[in-house]
Amino acid sequence: MTVDDLLADDEEGENWNRANILLDSVEQLELIGPTVPPNDLLVRLFHEERPRVFDTQPVTFGCTCSEDRVRQSLSIYSARDIEKMTTDKGLVTADCQFCGAHYEMDPKSVGQGSDGG
Ligand SMILES: [Zn+2]
């Protein structure tokens, strides 16, 4: 049985529970290493399931947010709604919850009926 098999065809969620019980037996420090290398940890936990390890892939931070996207998501709001969102400084602001980017726009340029920019 592989880990894929363990998680596939899991009608009662029993396999998922089993995977979680095994994972719960890991101490937090073991998860971040370096005492137990990740592969050793996998083998220790899931040796009966014969885990498959894929090649590592580089991970980079990225966010797909943009002012255009913010404008797009604001386009459903009426001028009245946009007015409520307008700050004391006369701007509509938006913060990306993922990357923290901050956007400031003229309220006249967003929402329904705006010229879109
Ligand atoms: Zn972002």
Question: How far, in Å, is the centroid of ligand 1 from the Cα of 65?
Answer: 4
| Domain ranges within the chain, ordered by starting residue | 3-49, 67-109
Neighbours of ion ligand 1 (CB under 5 A): 63, 65, 96, 98-99, 101
pTM reported for the whole predicted model: 0.51
As to burial, measured by CB atoms within 10 angstroms (0-12 exposed, 13-18 middle, 19+ buried), residue 82 is buried
* pLDDT for the residue 31: 74
* Rounded-to-integer distance, Cα 41 and Cα 97, Å: 33
Buried-state track 45-75, b at ≥16 Cβ within 10 A, e below 16: bbeebebeeeeeeeeeeeeebeeeebbeebe
Question: How far, in Å, is the centroid of ligand 1 from the Cα of 86?
Answer: 21
Q: How confident is residue 11, by pLDDT bands cut at 50, 70 and 90?
A: low
Q: What is the number of other CB atoms lying within 10 angstroms of the CB of residue 94?
A: 19
pLDDT higher for 9 or 91? 91
Question: How far, in Å, is the centroid of ligand 1 from the Cα of 11?
Answer: 37
In order of 66, 89, 93, the CA distances from 81 in angstroms are 21, 17, 13
pLDDT higher for 102 or 26? 102
Residue bearing tokens 């370096």 = 34
In order of 85, 97, 110, 112, the CA distances from 63 in angstroms are 24, 10, 22, 26
Question: How far, in Å, is the centroid of ligand 1 from the Cα of 69?
Answer: 10
Question: How far, in Å, is the centroid of ligand 1 from the Cα of 102?
Answer: 8
Token digits for 23?
């994972």
Q: Model confidence over 29-59: pLDDT tens digits?
A: 777 767 778 788 888 888 888 888 888 899 9
Question: How far, in Å, is the centroid of ligand 1 from the Cα of 48?
Answer: 41
Question: How far, in Å, is the centroid of ligand 1 from the Cα of 101?
Answer: 5
Three-state DSSP class for 66? Answer: coil
